[in-house]
Structure 1
Amino acid sequence: MSVLFTWVSPSRKGGHIEITPNDNRYGVYIADRETGILHTRSDIMIEKQVDGTTYQLGTVDIKSGLVTCNGRTATMNRVSKLRAHETFVAYNGMNYEWEVEPRGAHLKVEDESKRTIASFTAERGYFGAREPAQLIVHGDGLMMLDEVIATAVYIARKMVIRRNAQIAAGSATT
């Protein structure tokens, strides 16, 4: 079984994202961050809405690489300077790796199987109709859904920062 989560932001530059499942048995997640020149926080607050009640799920700190979820903190570790892949140890004690590609990322178990438990696709399109970002969480990933969502928020933000840096570097050379 897999569940599709669609990431919707009311404003392209806004810091509010609703992560909505295609299956109403799962809650809606909300990621909020401060935006603008004068913002003071580097973290993203994550909440979960279940049956009309909102819960504080955790935080994602981009600068330190710390992802806190349900009171437990995991450190996101970059695999190497050449690859944008990041690893972490989940609450179940197992190692996982987000393998980052230009338009998305795949969360894999770090064992012999290397099975994919989640796949993230970044938002596509710049003008007119845009396709929102999506996260598909498969079987084993549903058992640790909150951690998958929290680390996916971290990976998605890192991808945006990396893409913006590449655009800025490209425009600086012209």
Structure 2
Amino acid sequence: MPNYRRAFVAGGTWFFTVNLLQRHGNNLLVREIELLRRVVQQVRQKHPFYIDAWVVLPEHLHCVLTLPPGDSDFSLRWRLIKTAFSRALPREERISATRQKYGERGIWQRHYWEHLIRDELDFQRHVDYVHVNPLKHGLVKRVRDWPYSTFHQHVVKEIYSLDWCGDVEIHVGGGD
């Protein structure tokens, strides 16, 4: 089994990618967006964190978040979010024997990707990545058209303009 090394920095800022277990053709996160929002808010009330940027796609999410000074336990927050979200859903997914053995659901991938933000440039690159992700995946032609993102809050705060990234035509397949 791999030995994961995590950077625990009190009051740190991290970029995360969190995936559903079954990604292909799955739209659970946008279908259950209100449940996800509610769960995140409940966890934030008991274990505060600041959302710098967040985007929810059909089968995964990306976010940049900052923990309070003196706190480095992002693992607790993700465990609580994933557990509460899973428990609120009906048991309809296929559950492997291994997951059954450990009392786990078949909703989320066990692990997630995290990256400790190192400086302002690293922060801006990751926040931009979060917001451009629906465009990157071909879900919209303009970043502003994706409703499940903090991009809209950043426009109100004048961090981005409404036409940030412009109108990009997405071409799929071969050709010129």
Normalising by structure 1, we get a TM-score of 0.27
Normalising by structure 2, we get a TM-score of 0.27
Which structure has more strand as a fraction of its residues? 1
Higher RCO (CA-CA < 8 Å; seq separation 6+)? 2
